Structure 1
């Protein structure tokens, strides 16, 4: 009895490798299209570079869907705001805070917690949005995200002025500014999705 034909196995291997290679090649343009879609969409936001870097890693999920892009942007803003909320709580318990710093931190903790709630509500609504009640639900989402952005601004207002200086001010403002920028970008992409759907 003869053994397996080596030419048969070589041919099968070539066919297998060709199919894997062509399959990988077919996937690349899709990701490329998605990344280009994200880049183009982000160009309409206030912070396009941050928008692209924060969302390009989600290209496989987003594909070229305005809805999934808006959802991803909202999710990124929510996750960053949750993390920042935990940091603000920890900083508020720091030793050696002046009375004004302590008051500003208490206000900031409250504002960022409100922002988390508003973004969480927006995310829940976004996952359930349907054509039949699109305008009503989208209006709620836009209102909540706008309110979250206002809360971020209110937090940083507490650390304005020359009397508030030093590491605490720079730490708080640095973190809140990034969260506000991500939230602003999310709102712009949500507005873009709304106009696409309605258009």
Structure 2
């Protein structure tokens, strides 16, 4: 199947990437002043629920004053970062898969990885669009959060599957290392997004 078949509507993708990119640009431009200490502490506390708290904190501390102690804003920010990174990682692996001199097993593993990451792009896209400010505790809210948790979990599973497909001895070591480094970064961001989505769902449900 052609790589294009792994992705959703080009128009919808471009629009969503632009929105997420604009969000990241705005967030990156927001400095953390002394007045943002509480917000920074909120990021640190939130990151303690993740598997890699130090990496999480260094990733999201720059967004502290924009997040401003909002679990929903933190979840949205994490989903946007995961979406952007997954999209561009997929593009880079597509480029790698078109290189001359690849073994058949290597080319197949890269194609499988592109397919898995393409699914992750879709799932993260659905999660971003679904994370609307529905009334916390309502039936609609609980259904929305359940859908998002399912999609982000599936995205994380896809990324793990991609890395597993590169574990064979027939895969060139340099190729394997380069791809795995990119996908591990994507997996970390997706796991942070899942942790923050879970945190937001739990906090909003108990209000």
TM range (shorter): 0.7 to 0.9
For 1:62 and 1:100, locate their aligned partners in 2 and report how far apart those are by CA, in whole Å.
44
Query: Could you say which structure has the larger radius of gyration?
Result: 1
For 1:43 and 1:96, locate their aligned partners in 2 and report how far apart those are by CA, in whole Å.
44
Structure 2 counterpart of 1:99, from 99, 104, 108: 104
- Does the 8 Å CA contact 1:84/1:176 hold for their aligned counterparts? yes
In the alignment, structure 1 residue 74 sits paired with structure 2 residue 74: no
**1:23-38 → structure 2 map (5 Å cutoff):** 28-38=33-43
Q: After TM superposition, give the deviation of residue 165 of structure 1 in Å.
A: 3.2
- Would the alpha carbon gap of residues 169 and 62 (structure 1) be closer, same or farther in structure 2, given more than 3 Å must change? same
1:78-121 residue CA offsets vs partner (Å, 9 max, x unmatched) = 11111101111111111110000000011111111110110010
- Would the alpha carbon gap of residues 53 and 99 (structure 1) be closer, same or farther in structure 2, given more than 3 Å must change? same
Name the count of aligned residue pairs. Answer: 173
Structure 2 counterpart of 1:121, from 107, 126, 134: 126
Question: Normalization by structure 2: what TM-score?
Answer: 0.79
- Does the 8 Å CA contact 1:30/1:63 hold for their aligned counterparts? no
For 1:100 and 1:128, locate their aligned partners in 2 and report how far apart those are by CA, in whole Å.
46
Structure 1 counterpart of 2:164, from 144, 157, 164: 157
Question: Normalization by structure 1: what TM-score?
Answer: 0.83
Q: After TM superposition, give the deviation of residue 30 of structure 1 in Å.
A: 3.4
- Does the 8 Å CA contact 2:106/2:170 hold for their aligned counterparts? no
Moved over 6 A (4+): none
Q: After TM superposition, give the deviation of residue 61 of structure 1 in Å.
A: 1.4
**1:84-95 → structure 2 map (5 Å cutoff):** 84-95=89-100
In the alignment, structure 1 residue 192 sits paired with structure 2 residue 199: yes
